[in-house]
């Protein structure tokens, strides 16, 4: 840890228009007690000048390998850092980092870092989707570098698409998690997380659903990114902001959730089934709104059972893959969960007792985690991200190295 227990962060800034957003990220880091040294590229200094970085960080700005050569900055900065962050990371920076080039102070720092490295890309959509960039990102991730997926939205000029720098607050949240316990425990792993509650259409205006907000699933996705995982989040009917660095797949019904999850699970090391799929759906969809009968009687609605997605994944599970199921119960929670654990062939099942004003939509949770090996771990009420981190601590040792 840095001087006087202040975490030392190297903030690299590459030459993109999003460099101005790094000023807000720098402010958040310094105001929360981080010791930040800024290393801008020559291109970055064309967008934001050296005095701005110095004023916001409270330190002289490091710009090249020749300044203060007696301190060997190209080695010292990376070696002494607790975290190296590059925001924005341009397509050029990703290419140079992937190929191990060391033609400026920032790429030298990346080569000498022995701490978590986090890259937050920003570029035009065509550049992000180019096969060369995709290959560079894959190479970096295979080495344990955390490369966030860019956000979608307005780019420079009139362009819109995937390539925006993730929101500085989201990047900051990933930084704080990386500096916490469990960092890098999922480096290079592929993780699928489901979240939210499915909706089964009854007619054009009504559906069968549940109270799930998706907050616990989103917490699993955010904490997995901070541990170095490549995360696909399959999201059903939530009103939450996309976590930084996560590939989000949106679904509505249980069948859509099943299809997306089964497809994503093929290459996943871990599948966390935190979503709340509906157990039943209407046998028939009414093409027009169902009206009240003139005599006031209620219509009879036939239901059919939805597929058990976790059980299907359990049957398909590869050797070494970890499946985490969930059991939201109102009574007899542990006996019901143990039966589900066996039936779904899961490795772990996360159990909680739910109700109208319990768990759903709340910021905290309290769970028991049962293992197929007979283990049982109780996690007292805590913020949902703390719960997610504690469960990841149980998952990580269960992942075995497999060849995809």
Pairing of strands 190-196, 230-236: parallel
Distance CA 366, CA 384 (A): 9
The torsion angles phi and psi of 27, rounded to 5 degrees, stand at -60, -45
Q: Which of 23, 292, 18 is nearest to 151 (CA)?
A: 18
In Å, the largest CA–CA distance within the chain is 92
Q: Are 251 and 277 in contact (CB under 8 A)?
A: no
The residue to which tokens 């005095």 are assigned: 51
Q: Are 1 and 80 in contact (CB under 8 A)?
A: no
Q: Give the contacts of 126 (CB within 8 A, at least 6 positions apart).
A: none
Q: Are 73 and 62 in contact (CB under 8 A)?
A: yes
**For residue 211, how many other CB atoms are within 10 A of its CB?**
15
Distance CA 199, CA 338 (A): 27
Q: Are 35 and 47 in contact (CB under 8 A)?
A: no
β-bridge mates for residue 84, sequence order? 10, 117
- For residue 299, the Cα-to-chain-centroid distance in whole angstroms is 43
Helix locations, 165-204, DSSP H: 168-178
| The one catalytic residue among 210, 237, 352, 365 | 210
Q: Are 186 and 396 in contact (CB under 8 A)?
A: yes
Distance CA 145, CA 78 (A): 14
Helix, strand, or coil here: 268? Answer: coil
User: For this structure, is 210 an active site residue?
Assistant: yes
Task: Cite the active site residues.
Answer: 210
């Amino acid at each position: 840890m840095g001087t006087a227990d202040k975490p030392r962060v190297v903030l690299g800034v590459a030459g993109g228009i999003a460099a101005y957003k790094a000023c807000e990220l720098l402010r958040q880091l310094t105001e929360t007690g981080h010791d930040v040294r800024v290393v801008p590229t020559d291109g970055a200094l064309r967008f934001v000048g050296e005095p701005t970085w110095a004023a916001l960080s409270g330190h002289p700005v490091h710009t090249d390998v020749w300044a203060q050569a007696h301190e060997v900055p190209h080695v010292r900065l990376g070696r002494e850092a607790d975290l190296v962050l590059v925001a924005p990371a341009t397509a050029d920076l990703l290419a140079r980092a992937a190929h191990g080039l060391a033609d400026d102070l920032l790429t030298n720092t990346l080569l000498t870092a022995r701490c978590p490295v986090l890259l937050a890309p920003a570029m035009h959509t065509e550049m992000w989707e180019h096969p060369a960039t995709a290959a560079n990102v894959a190479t970096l991730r295979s080495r344990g570098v955390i490369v966030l997926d860019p956000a979608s939205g307005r780019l420079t000029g009139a362009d819109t698409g995937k390539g925006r720098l993730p929101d500085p607050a989201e990047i900051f949240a990933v930084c704080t998690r990386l500096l916490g316990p469990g960092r890098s425990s999922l480096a290079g792993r592929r993780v699928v997380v489901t979240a939210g509650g499915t909706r089964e259409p009854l007619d054009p205006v009504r559906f069968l659903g549940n109270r799930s907000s998706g907050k616990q699933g989103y917490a699993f996705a955010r904490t997995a990114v901070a541990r170095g995982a490549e995360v696909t989040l399959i999201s059903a009917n939530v009103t939450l902001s996309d976590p930084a660095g996560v590939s989000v797949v949106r679904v509505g019904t249980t069948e859509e959730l099943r299809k997306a999850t089964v497809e994503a699970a093929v290459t996943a090391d871990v599948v966390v089934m935190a979503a709340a799929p509906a157990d039943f759906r209407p046998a028939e969809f009414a093409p027009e709104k169902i009206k009240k009968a003139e005599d006031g009687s209620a219509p009879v609605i036939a239901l059919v059972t939805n597929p058990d997605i976790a059980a299907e994944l359990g049957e398909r599970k590869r050797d070494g893959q970890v499946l985490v199921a969930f059991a939201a119960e109102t009574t007899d929670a542990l006996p019901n969960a143990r039966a589900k654990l066996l039936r779904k062939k899961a490795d772990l099942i996360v159990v909680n007792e739910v109700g109208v004003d319990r768990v759903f939509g709340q910021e905290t949770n309290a769970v028991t985690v049962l293992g197929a090996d007979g283990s049982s771990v109780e996690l007292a009420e805590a913020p949902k991200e703390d719960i997610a981190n504690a469960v990841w601590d149980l998952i990580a040792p269960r992942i075995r190295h497999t060849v995809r």
